[in-house]
Amino acid sequence: MPNGTYGGVRGRSYSALLDYGRRIMKYLIADLVTEYTPKYDNLKKLSESFLYSGDRETQIKLSVTDERIEKLDKRMINPSYPATENFLYAGDFNRAIIKFGGMLVHSSGIICNGGAYLFSADSGVGKSTHTKLWLREFKDKVHIFNDDKPVIMINGKSVTAYGTPFDGGSGIALNESAPLKAIVFIERGETNSVRVPNSKEIISKLYFQTAHMVNAATAQEMLSNFDALIKSDVKFYVLTCNMEPEAAHVAYNSII
């Protein structure tokens, strides 16, 4: 069976440390009070900045069993119980937030000039490589708040992007939020250009970056969230790019 040890919680009392090791913890993720107990140090450490000690009622309860971890881990390209636990909790959280008007978007999320921008692409296309170009080219004007699984919450015309403890292995999982300004779908190309997709293309691309983790029970709610997102103030772009520094400047000049 998978084994794990509880990591420390910096700056907390001894009694809090004991509680951390023996009870279900509360976290505030995307402004939703969420209960779960990470088994492995990886997710425990990533979750520390999301710990919640307020008196709001729990809105989401998550649980991942050893059996689920073992079963999925056998199918992973790079088996790792800690990474598989993180992946399972991310999927469960994604399904749980749908009824609250939320969705997890497979993307690398940056904050620039006070707004959030999500760069989404299939694994291997280079979303993280692209956002690292932004860090190099624009330095202190930009930072990455989650490099794989940020969450968005839709509230009428306004949408907020949130960091989560679910990092996809990058280790970048900050507890930050900002108004979502745009979702950018990345495609690999020899030259750099930006265009605006139509609604049908947006839904298709969103589906592959979030809805494939959704089950039949929540599918209709997710479609409603897609519709609300498209009708919101969020902009959508398709960025065709190479991995040269110019790609970041072309994107910046077209999107920001």
Q: For residue 27, give the 3-state DSSP assignment.
A: strand
Q: Which pLDDT score is estimated for 4?
A: 44
pLDDT exceeds 60 at position 3: no
Chain segment 127-150, per-residue pLDDT in tens? 999 999 999 999 999 999 999 999
Q: To 10 degrees, what angle do helices 127-138 and 245-255 make?
A: 80
More confident residue, 10 or 243: 243
Q: How far apart are CA 167 and CA 148, in angstroms?
A: 5
Per-residue pLDDT at 191: 96
Cβ(112)–Cβ(166) below 8 Å: no
Could you give the percent of the chain with pLDDT greater than 70?
89
Q: What is the pLDDT of residue 213?
A: 61
Give the rounded percent of residues in the chain with a pLDDT score beyond 90: 77
Query: What number is the average pLDDT over the span 189-213?
Result: 89
The residues spanned by each domain of the chain are: 14-99, 100-255
- Round the average pLDDT of the chain to a whole number and report it: 89
pLDDT at 110: 98
Domain 100-255 sits in CATH at 3.40.50
Picking from 168, 3, 5, 201, the residue whose alpha carbon sits closest to that of residue 87 is 168
pLDDT at position 235: 98
Read off the pLDDT of each residue in 224-251 and give the average, rounded to a whole number.
Answer: 96
Q: What per-residue confidence (pLDDT) applies to 168?
A: 82
| Mean pLDDT for the stretch of residues 107-111 | 97
Q: 3-state class of 15 per DSSP?
A: helix
pLDDT score recorded for residue 211: 59
**Over the stretch 4-63, which tens digit does the pLDDT of each residue have?**
433 334 444 444 444 444 467 999 999 999 999 999 999 999 999 999 999 999 999 999
Residue 249 has pLDDT above 90, yes or no: yes
Which pLDDT belongs to residue 160?
A: 98
Q: Which of 135-144, 189-198, 210-219 has the lowest mean pLDDT?
A: 210-219
Positions of E strands within 53-122: 60-61, 102-104, 107-112, 115-120
